[in-house]
Structure 1
Amino acid sequence: MIFQSGALLIAILGTYALKHLHIFGERDYKVAQGIVFNMTLPCAIILSFATNRHDMRMLWIVLFGFFACAIPLFVVFLGSRGDERNYRAFQMLNASGLNLGAFCLPVVQTFMGASAGLPIIMLDIGNATVATAGSLTITRTLLHMDDNFRSLPLSLRLRNIAHDFLGSISFDIYMLMLVFMFLHITIPQPIITLITPFANANAFCAMAMIGLMMEIPDNRKDRIELLKVIAWRAVFGVIIAVAAWFILPFDMRIREIIVLGSFAPITIFSTKFTDSLTGNAKLAGFSLTVTAILSLIVMTILHALLPTA
């Protein structure tokens, strides 16, 4: 297990080193993002649905994921009063939401096999309803940011929000697989065979993307705000994990998977929204990398310590 975690960490740090050796450029992470979000992650989602039994009780995990993402957003809004507006936006966007599809899914599948992917995906369906677009709308509304958005007619605002959701291929795949689950539709074997190599590449591509995004900020205030976000996420992670372990009506294996997911890092969408609202892309990328490394350490320890069925 240590070697599995080490391999994922090497993928992050290795691509970061290659960037500083000028083998990769400063904005090459966008290529990696395109590959992960439009190819490897959708294939990993489909493969997990296609190769696992669908228990309708797992819809409880969807609901749990929604509250696990939404509640922290409002708690941080109240708890960050007195800070500068841009930094409040940074805290709200980055202290809430779980990076499940691009980070936790490959990590958990590396630890526990491909069958561990389905609970993470169900958790991410609920999480993604907020993280992929809702958090941006809520943050800029509560903090009175983005006057252009506020000046639009209600119909255009709703259209923009819908575009944010439907423009994500991963979110669309989540919704499609949920429909397949309700209708008991199975994925044909030729499609499974076709997508398997792309799904298997998701772990490396996701870690490489994080390494390419990493850049250390030179602003002391930025570093302090990052520490606040890490503290927020640690508190929320513990609360979500304890709730998952004692409340969710599933066996120990599934509860362990959700507990590991509770300590997932900052989402890719949060970094994108931070850049668009505050213009601080360097802090956003570095925050994702730091929390990804911390999450990998915590998830490895928890997987070793938690009891198994």
Structure 2
Amino acid sequence: MLDILIKAFGFILIIVIGFLLKSKGICKREHGQFLSTIIMNITLPCALLSSINNLKITPVLLIALIIGFMGNVITNIIGYLSSNHESPMNKALSMINTSGYNIGTFTLPFVQTFFPASAIAYVCLFDTGNALMCLGGTFTAASTVVSSDQKPTFYSIIKKLFSSIPFCTYIVLFFLSLFHISIPTQVLTITSIAGNANAFLAMLMIGILLEVKLDFSQMKTILKILINRYTISIILSLIVYFLLPLDNIVRKMIVLCLFAPISAVAPVFSTKLGSHSPVPAAVNSLSIMISILILTCLIVIFA
């Protein structure tokens, strides 16, 4: 128990260090964005390759994928319905900022550190289902709500999905497992060097990108989105943990995923819709803080 608490404290300390480095002017937000590029294109794919080689596709893994997809669909619907009497833009923003799970740069580093490598497969399949929505599906639905002149096409959604290197890595691993092809040990030795740095860089990046500036005039909207989001997370988690006939480790991994922060691309897609509201950035930063506390508590219980 003490070892788990020390590691969890270590994660929080790295985030605090990143935040302090930015506060003192040693690092800038641009440095966090650079780290994000390194993580998404190098260390995260390497961590995935090193951790889930010889993945065996089972019905249980596909359940994790379906829950990742359906979690987004449900939060999209709730986001829309909770803003039913507001403007089309507010409805679209509520949809985008209530849904999506930041798995690759948040939940995965926690799982990578505290759980056996075999558990990572469930997180990856959840994120595959999640990516189908948060990298394309949600934005398509939101742009339809605001009647954008440039609605995303099927081709643009597919292009967006396959421009994500982590998503492509999931697909490659999925097909390698289908054909029972193993990655050579020599390759895994090399990828593990970068993969081992993923957890540290991800936490440092979160600290550098973390913003605590809040627009109190928008606090009602911010609180509504966060309450909707975490209420749904609690309900889905209770259903997964107590009602679905899954192995203990599978239930734990899916619950951890369901309490991930809101997707890091949510503020980007909000801007792309034409919004200049401070709500998306505030919601994203607050969801990171809330999820840090929840995941730390869950890991102490689960691990």
Shift of the 43–60 alpha-carbon distance from structure 1 to 2, 3 Å rule, reads same
Shift of the 218–60 alpha-carbon distance from structure 1 to 2, 3 Å rule, reads closer
Q: Superposed, which structure 2 residues align to 1:24-35 within 5 Å?
A: 24-35=27-38
Instruction: Could you tell me which runs of 5 or more consecutive residues in structure 2 were left unpaired when the two chains were aligned.
Output: none
What is the CA-CA distance between 1:36 and the residue it aligns to?
1.1
Q: Distance in 2 between matches of 1:244 and 1:103?
A: 21
What is the CA-CA distance between 1:293 and the residue it aligns to?
2.1
Q: Which residue of 2 aligns with 1:71?
A: 74
What is the CA-CA distance between 1:280 and the residue it aligns to?
4.3
Query: Which segment is superposed worse, 199-208 or 243-252?
Result: 243-252
Question: Match of 2:64, as an amino acid?
Answer: I
Q: Which residue of 2 aligns with 1:41?
A: 44
Shift of the 132–87 alpha-carbon distance from structure 1 to 2, 3 Å rule, reads same
Q: Which residue of 2 aligns with 1:181?
A: 177
What is the CA-CA distance between 1:58 and the residue it aligns to?
1.3
Shift of the 23–142 alpha-carbon distance from structure 1 to 2, 3 Å rule, reads same
Q: Which residue of 2 aligns with 1:102?
A: 105
Task: Tell me the number of residue pairs that the alignment of Structure 1 and Structure 2 aligns.
Answer: 300
Q: Superposed, which structure 2 residues align to 1:1-309 within 5 Å?
A: 1-50=4-53, 54-144=57-147, 146-147=148-149, 149-150=150-151, 157-280=153-276, 283-305=279-301
What is the CA-CA distance between 1:20 and the residue it aligns to?
1.9
Question: Match of 1:299, as an amino acid?
Answer: L
Q: Distance in 2 between matches of 1:30 and 1:270?
A: 15
Instruction: Could you tell me which runs of 5 or more consecutive residues in structure 1 were left unpaired when the two chains were aligned.
Output: 151-155
Task: Tell me if structure 1 keeps the 8 A contact 2:92–2:145.
Answer: no
> Deviations for 1:15-66, whole angstroms, at most 9, x for unmatched residues?
1211121111232222011011101111122222216655453112111211
* Aligned sequence identity (%): 28
RMSD: 2.2
Question: Match of 1:207, as an amino acid?
Answer: M
Q: Distance in 2 between matches of 1:31 and 1:198?
A: 16
Q: Distance in 1 between matches of 2:285 and 2:5?
A: 19
Q: Distance in 2 between matches of 1:125 and 1:139?
A: 20
What is the CA-CA distance between 1:83 and the residue it aligns to?
3.0
Aligned with 1:284: secondary structure? helix
> Deviations for 1:100-128, whole angstroms, at most 9, x for unmatched residues?
12111111222223332111111111111
Query: Which segment is superposed worse, 218-227 or 92-101?
Result: 218-227
Question: Match of 1:98, as an amino acid?
Answer: Y
Aligned with 1:186: secondary structure? coil
Shift of the 109–248 alpha-carbon distance from structure 1 to 2, 3 Å rule, reads farther
Normalised TM-score (structure 1): 0.89
